Structure 1
Amino acid sequence: MWKNYLYSAFLIILFLFPCCIPSQTLINHTTNYFGPNANPVPDFTSATIPKNTEFSVYCDYYFGYGDQTADQLLKVEIPLLPEKISVKLWIVPIEYYTVTDAVKERRMMSRNSGLASGDFYLQTRIALFNEKEHKIAVIFNATLKTASGSDFINRRFFNTAGYYFDTEIGKSFIVRGFLNEIRLVANAGFYSWDVQTPNNNVQDDAVMYGLKVILKKKNLSWENTISGYSGWIKRADDYGDRPIVLATKLNLKGKKNTYFLQYQYGIKYFPFNQIRIGAVFPLAALTPNFF
């Protein structure tokens, strides 16, 4: 008789045990389920390293698709060897966001609006080939993305880190007529970030790519860029680790500073339109001089 009671108690415990384990929600660590600054398509330059330290200030406004985000982006690039080796750092110190109820439910957020601070990036840049000597510029970048962003519960920034390696290849063509110069830049690399799952953590590895065309006329330049990355995880059709963006940017170079205006459109898996204004300030006094 006691064996029957013991067997019945075992079945009851076995049935109730899964209910006692807290469920873990599967989070999609992609641009399709987070804010625009969580894991954006990385920017790439015109395949140049500056002579002097440059401090850049960006003001961004993202809109459309039920998410409105305003933020500031700060960047500084410090050439350790002018035009050869530099260190670049950037961060979104604060963003303000507001989303619709539909977006809140889809991302499983706890509120519709709020403030968040972003991830810190650290990049090392090395010029492998100089355009003056080799007719082509080649720059290698190694970048670390920290998990320092806040408000993961509202899907603003990942709670995981990442890194990427990419190479910029640039070539200028001097022309006569209305334009002074046409510059072509290609970018290719490897991007990886941690993805949390209920059972274990995995890495989403992606191929990075990009193409930039720059038209120059005296102190004006017009950039047109298409770029993206393609990951391997396929949980659903809209998982979203394969974003593609198209950007057009107008630069005005003054006596010292450069000012710019940019519009970016998310072609795929990046549900945001962006308007960006900003300025680049050369800081010769803060440029290291080791020789």
Structure 2
Amino acid sequence: MRRALAIFFVFISFQVSGQGVLDWWDQLHNYPDAAGPDRSRYINLSPGYLGPNAMIMPSLPNMTIDNEFWVQALGQTHAGNGDKTQNFFLKGNFPLARDRVMLYITSVPYETWEVTPETRDERRMMGLGGKGGNTGDVAYGVIFKVFREKHWLPFNFGFRLHTKTTTGGNLTNARSTDNSLYQWEGNFSKTMIEKEEEKLLLKASLGFVTWQTNKNRLPGGSNHNQNDAPYYGFGVEYLNRSWLLSSDVVGYTGYLGNRDYPHFFRTQVQYRFNRLALRTEYNYGLQSWDWNTFSLGVRYYILELLD
């Protein structure tokens, strides 16, 4: 009996202390009167109100189909929007049909972050200290090449289907959406220069992005359960022997107007020797995407898919 009472009082003490931890948050955000008793519904599921790894846009494809199996590991640092984040970024490329179909998988296995008090309160984060660590999302996509350049059409054309899973954690601190994201797009590329060890091509993309939001009617929130956005991008890619240089501007524009129109300018530089390549990337955030991201790492080429 004494043991049962002791367990009961310990449980009650944890409940009381747990409630007290969020007293500051309840008062600041008028909980539960503002948007109901579910605290997670107070988070704005929009790119400009989440961490930099919550709604990552995939790199713009060149539609020539990469026929090599490879894996990539990068270290990344993001700065801006009152948020400093560091993380690992992994990517694998898996050709399924030579010159026709490829699958890629990306992951943010772990991130650490620290935000200013102003950003913490604006995002309605529940961690008073404004810093921590958590896992990120796994995402994947399939690229289908439909037309090869100078066969039927004067340019390459194909489709990409991309989606983000819900493996990312820490929704209560606005680090992930805890909902899927879907992206459909048509992609074009046109070769402008093609020599034995040199190639220059232009690439473009038009598509559609959709994701679930929190219907909370709070400032920066949404009156709907879903946001849809046209997606677009334009870029250039240059290959010279072992060097690869690629730049693009991509973005999408949601219809809610709550910082749901991220655009960014990205540049990738890679030097390859044999099966190993050194790679660096720089992303400059535009409009509601206010982070600048620097990435550095390696890519290892395993083998090439044969006919």
What TM-score results when the alignment is normalised by the length of structure 2? 0.79
Moved over 6 A (4+): none
Candidates 113, 120, 125, aligned match of 2:131: 113
Q: CA deviation at 1:228?
A: 0.3
The letter of the residue matching 1:187 is S
Structure 1 residue runs without a partner (length 5+)? 1-17
Aligned counterparts of 1:42 and 1:283: Cα–Cα separation in 2: 22
Give the Cα separation in 2 of the matches to 1:80 and 1:258.
22
Q: Which residue of 2 aligns with 1:3?
A: none
Give the Cα–Cα distance (whole angstroms) in 2 for the partners of residues 170 and 270 of structure 1: 26
Q: String of CA shifts for 1:143-190, please: whole Å, max 9, x gaps.
A: 2221221000010000211211112211112278xx943210001111
Q: CA-atom RMSD, angstroms?
A: 2.4
Matches within 5 A, 1:187-202: 187-198=205-216, 202=225
Does the 8 Å contact 1:74/1:90 carry over to 2?
Answer: yes
CA distance, structure 2, for counterparts of residue 203 and residue 189 of structure 1: 17
What residue ranges of structure 2 are gaps of 5+ in the alignment? 1-32, 218-222
Structure 1 residue 22 corresponds to structure 2 residue 37: yes
Aligned-pair CA distance for 1:100: 1.2
Q: Which has the higher Rg, Structure 1 or Structure 2?
A: 1
Instruction: Give, as a single letter, the amino acid of the residue that structure 1 aligns with 2:135.
Output: S
Q: Confirm or deny: 8 A CA contact 1:121 1:146 kept in the other structure.
A: yes
1:162 matched to 2:162? The reply is no
Percent of aligned pairs with the same amino acid: 24
Shift of 1:23: 6.7
Q: CA deviation at 1:81?
A: 0.7
Q: Tell me which residue corresponds to 1:211.
A: 234
Q: How many residues matched?
A: 264
- 2:159 aligns with 140
Please, which of 143, 148, 157 is the counterpart of residue 125 of structure 1? Answer: 143
Report deviation, 1:50. 1.6
TM-score, with structure 1 as normaliser: 0.83
Please, which of 261, 274, 287 is the counterpart of residue 268 of structure 1?
287
Displacement after TM superposition at 1:139 (Å): 2.4
Partner of 2:264: 245
Q: How far does residue 198 in structure 1 lie from its aligned partner after superposition?
A: 3.9
Question: How much has 1:39 moved relative to structure 2?
Answer: 0.9
Residue 121 of structure 2 corresponds to residue 102 of structure 1: no
